[in-house]
């Protein structure tokens, strides 16, 4: 599958999921939003009517007084209203009043003072029950238990006597289905505009995927031409693609300049001669009869030299990966305390060499630099492993993280033999190494060189000096990021 098609399909999936989610959220919010607005209106209406009904209720004429007369006259009024395209000709309100016991004493559904809910006990309904107890009373009840769309919203307001006591409750009820046309129209508009937006987004996705595919195709053809040995011209592509093309061109120029590669091959071949000679000599001796102890020693020598060559190649590849990087492509905030913990955990878990011999000292709070967490961790691991190699078998290696002004500094301290004067200026050179204490074999001579390159990439420096009282102190110093101390 071509990359343009993959980009478009991924974009389509993201847009479709976002549109579905937003559509469901908007549509789901329309109905409760409209009902909340209706409930707010019912609260105002109930309290206004409660004030108007107060005198008749206290006088005992709530069912035959002026309030009842005017409320029943509402049924014959022609509203003649048009609300956003919808006609409204009559009231859908039902108003009833209960006394302080919750008995209905007035109901607009009653005719000629009879019928409706007159005389019924409504004290168990939430609108009446809660209002009589001085709380906000409201409920939504189905008028037809078999019809989920037949719910009616009831909102109540208290009627107070002259002493401020609750003498009754006035409830205004309105069917929720009266707002159904508004909800349906709103949902329809949301869906229509959502589909239109999704269509526009997909069109943009098609255009963007096509454009990306064309730019990547030009760079791909250029890379294929370079691979085939053709003199392929660098394509003129905009933006980040142009930067990528320039990077490919630079890589091509460096690969074609074989001096760097030849230098590495020559140096590596030179350094491999020693281990290969040791392996060859041990192999020749193994062909002759010898004691089991000698045979074991020569086999161990072959294994050790093989591991040394493998480590040399691995470290050389890691060094080559950082030596020619002009800068960090994507520096990120790095907490050096976390780097130190992870590095020591890896060194301690890598074998008995570091187990129980490592001690970490950290300042309070976080110390943050801008850089590459992986490279910094590997650099610190190299320093710690180097210190372990040169320390006595039970010697302790201490790792400190210190702050000095605008810079942070790792210090790795050991109690080994220290650094000879003749080697101080060369310890960070490629392939330069010193013999390990106790007759141990030399290392690849690439670890400290890698540390120096990582320090330089981060705008810092690396150093190795002798320690007071014996041993050595390896230092990795780095500039703090802005607000680098949390």
- pLDDT band with cut points at 50, 70 and 90 for residue 226: low
Domains 38-184 and 257-324 fall in the same CATH topology: no
| Predicted confidence (pLDDT) at residue 385 exceeds the cutoff of 80 | yes
Q: Write out the DSSP string of 336-354.
A: HHHHHHHHHHHHHHS-TTT
Asked if the model's pLDDT at residue 459 lies above 50, the reply is yes
Instruction: Look over the chain and give the mean of its residue pLDDT values, rounded to a whole number.
Output: 78
Whether the predicted pLDDT of 364 surpasses 80: yes
How does 199-230 read in b/e, with b if 16+ C-beta sit within 10 Å? eebbeebeeebeeebebbebbeebeeebeeee
Residues 89-92: contacts with CB within 8 Å, 24+ apart?
Answer: 92/174, 92/175, 92/178
Distance from C-alpha of 98 to C-alpha of 74, rounded to nearest angstrom: 20
pLDDT value for 145: 83
Partners of 86 in the β-ladder: 83
| Residue 430 vs residue 96, higher pLDDT | 96
155 or 396: whose pLDDT is higher? Answer: 155
Q: What is the pLDDT of residues 433-446, one digit of tens each?
A: 777 665 555 566 67
Cα 320 from chain centroid (whole Å):
33
Backbone angles phi, psi at 2, to 5 degrees: -70, 155
* Exposed / middle / buried, residue 375 (Cβ in 10 Å: 0-12, 13-18, 19+): buried
CB neighbours (10 Å) of residue 308?
A: 20
DSSP per-residue letters across 114-164: BSTTTT-B-TTSHHHHHHHTTS--EEEEESSTT-TT-EEEEEEEEEE-TTS
Q: Which residues are CB-contacts of 455 (< 8 A; sequence separation ≥ 6)?
A: 379, 461, 462, 476, 477, 478
Architecture of domain 328-486: 2-Layer Sandwich (3.30)
pLDDT at residue 51 in the model: 93
> What end-to-end distance do the CA atoms of the chain give, in Å?
47
Binning pLDDT at 50, 70 and 90, where does residue 54 land?
very high
With a cut of 50, say whether residue 344 has pLDDT above it: yes
What percent of the chain is modeled with pLDDT above 90? 20
Burial class (CB in 10 A: 0-12, 13-18, 19+), 173: buried
**Domains of the chain by residue range:** 38-184, 257-324, 328-486
**Surface-to-core class of residue 300, CB atoms within 10 Å of its CB (0-12 exposed, 13-18 middle, 19+ buried):** exposed
pTM (2 d.p.): 0.40
Name which CATH class applies to 38-184.
Answer: alpha beta
CB-CB neighbours of 134 under 10 Å: 9
Of the candidate CATH numbers 1.20.120, 1.10.287, 1.10.10, 3.40.50, the domain formed by 257-324 belongs to: 1.10.287
Q: What is the pLDDT of residues 109-123, one digit of tens each?
A: 887 666 678 999 999
Instruction: Using the predicted structure, report yes or no on whether residue 394 has a pLDDT greater than 90.
Output: no
pLDDT for 486 equals 43
Q: Are 347 and 384 in contact (CB under 8 A)?
A: yes
**Does position 352 have pLDDT exceeding 50, yes or no?**
no
The confidence band for 126, taking pLDDT boundaries of 50, 70 and 90, is very high
Q: Kindly give the interhelix angle for 373-390 and 447-457, rounded to the nearest 10 degrees.
A: 150
């Amino acid at each position: 599958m071509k990359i343009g098609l993959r980009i478009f399909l991924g974009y389509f999936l993201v847009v479709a999921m976002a549109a579905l989610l937003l559509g469901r959220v908007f549509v789901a919010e329309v109905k409760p939003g409209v009902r909340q607005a209706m409930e707010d209106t019912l609260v105002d209406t109930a309290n206004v009517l409660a004030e108007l009904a107060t005198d008749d209720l206290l006088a005992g004429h709530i069912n035959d007084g002026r309030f009842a007369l005017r409320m029943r006259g509402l049924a014959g009024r022609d509203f003649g209203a048009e609300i956003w395209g919808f006609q409204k000709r009559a009231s859908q309100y039902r108003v009833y009043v209960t006394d302080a016991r919750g008995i209905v004493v007035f109901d607009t559904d009653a005719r000629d003072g009879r019928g409706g809910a007159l005389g019924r006990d409504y004290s168990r309904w939430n609108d009446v029950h809660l209002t009589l107890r001085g709380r906000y009373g409201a409920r939504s009840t189905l008028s037809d238990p078999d019809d989920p769309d037949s719910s009616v919203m009831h909102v109540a307001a208290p009627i107070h006597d002259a002493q401020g006591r609750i003498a009754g409750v006035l409830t205004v009820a309105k069917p929720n289905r009266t707002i159904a046309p508004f909800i349906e129209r709103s949902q329809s508009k949301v869906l229509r505009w959502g589909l239109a937006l999704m269509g526009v987004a997909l069109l943009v996705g098609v255009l963007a995927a096509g454009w990306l595919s064309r730019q990547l195709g030009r760079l791909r053809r250029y890379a294929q031409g370079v691979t085939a040995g053709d003199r392929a011209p660098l394509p003129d592509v905009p933006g980040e693609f142009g930067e990528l093309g320039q990077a490919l061109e630079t890589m091509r120029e460096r690969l074609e300049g074989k001096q760097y590669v030849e230098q590495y091959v020559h140096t590596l071949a030179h350094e491999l001669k020693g281990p290969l000679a040791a392996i060859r000599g041990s192999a020749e001796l193994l062909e002759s009869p010898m004691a089991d102890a000698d045979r074991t020693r020569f086999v161990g020598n072959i294994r050790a030299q093989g591991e040394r060559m493998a480590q040399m190649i691995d470290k050389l590849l890691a060094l080559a990966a950082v030596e020619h990087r002009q800068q960090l492509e994507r520096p990120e905030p790095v907490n050096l305390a976390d780097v130190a913990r992870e590095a020591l955990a890896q060194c301690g878990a890598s074998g008995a060499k570091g187990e129980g011999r490592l001690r970490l000292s950290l300042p309070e709070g976080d110390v943050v630099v801008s850089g590459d967490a992986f490279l910094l961790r590997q650099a610190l691991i190299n320093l710690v492993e180097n210190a372990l190699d040169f320390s006595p078998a039970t010697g302790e290696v201490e790792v400190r993280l210190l702050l000095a002004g605008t810079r942070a500094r790792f210090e790795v301290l050991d109690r080994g033999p220290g650094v000879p004067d003749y080697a101080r200026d060369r310890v960070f050179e490629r392939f330069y190494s010193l013999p390990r204490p106790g007759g141990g074999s030399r290392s690849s001579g690439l670890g400290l060189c890698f540390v120096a390159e990582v320090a330089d990439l981060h705008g810092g420096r690396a150093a190795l000096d002798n320690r007071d009282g014996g041993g050595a102190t390896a230092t990795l110093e780095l500039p703090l990021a802005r607000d680098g101390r949390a």
